[in-house]
A = this chain, B = another copy of it.
Amino acid sequence: MKKFEEKTLSSKKIFTGKVISLQVDDVELPDGKTGKREIIKHPGAVAVIALTSENKIIMVEQYRKALERSLVEIPAGKLEKGEEPVLSAKRELEEETGYECEKMEHIISFYTSPGFADELVHLYVAHNLKKKENAAPLDEDEFVEMLELTLEEAQTYMDEGKIQDAKTAYAVQYLQLKKAMTS
């Protein structure tokens, strides 16, 4: 899909960081005029809907410096270089929660902020969880606390703004839809 394609006239790298990089492109717009696009490059990420045997949703609370507050989110993390998303999902689940699963089912991948960033989040459902002994540790700059919430509690957390990110909101709604369709 290339409708209204914007051709790159020049591209200037502004910043290359550990997580993101920033470039500004000069583009030719569909009407022949020129414009500027500010673009963030991101390696992509995974997120995991994981339910315990009591049907509770596993969440993690962590501080988000960009927001200067903590959020409760489903387990998630960045893709490492060259890493297959499904393996990344298993790794993040283990690191953040200590759980492993028999099967990771891919349900959707979406761009989080297509207006300025290429971050693509791959969302999975983890089936048949079990606690792993000697689970892989978190990255050294990661601090998270695990929670287990019923679907009703997750909805309350959303109403209260404790859950307030797109992937977790999608995940909670996914479980609500599943429940509505089977009841």
> Interface on A for B, CB 8 Å cutoff?
1-6, 14-15, 17-20, 22, 24-25, 27, 29-31, 33, 35-42, 45, 61-67, 69-71, 73, 76, 78, 108-119, 121, 140-141, 143-145, 158, 162, 164-167, 169-170, 173-174, 176-177, 180-181
B contact residues around A45 at 8 Å (CB): 115
A110-B4 in contact given A30-B143, A64-B115, A118-B67 (Cβ < 8 Å): no
User: A107 CB to closest chain B CB, in angstroms?
Assistant: 10
Other than the given A45-B115, A110-B165, A166-B170, 13 more pairs (CB < 8 A) read A1-B71, A2-B63, A2-B69, A14-B14, A25-B65, A39-B65, A40-B116, A42-B113, A64-B114, A78-B115, A112-B113, A170-B173, A177-B180
Distance of A123 from chain B, by nearest CB (Å): 9
State the main secondary structure of chain A at its contact with B.
Answer: mixed
Bound-state Cα–Cα, A140 to B32, Å: 12
Whole-angstrom distance between the alpha carbons of A181 and B78 in the complex?
Answer: 35
Residues of B within 8 A of A39 (CB): 65-66
Verify B170–A169 contact, CB threshold 8 A. yes
Q: For A118, what are the chain B residues with a Cβ–Cβ distance below 8 Å?
A: 66-67
Which one of B20, B24, B35, B112 contacts A112 once the chains associate, using CB atoms below 8 Å?
Answer: B112
Chain B positions within 8 Å of A165 at CB level = 110-112, 114
Which residue of B25, B37, B173 contacts A173 across the interface (Cβ within 8 Å)?
A: B173
Among B1, B25, B37, contact of A69 (Cβ-Cβ < 8 Å) = B1
- Given A36-B18, A37-B66, A69-B1, the answer on whether A119 and B111 have CB atoms closer than 8 Å is no
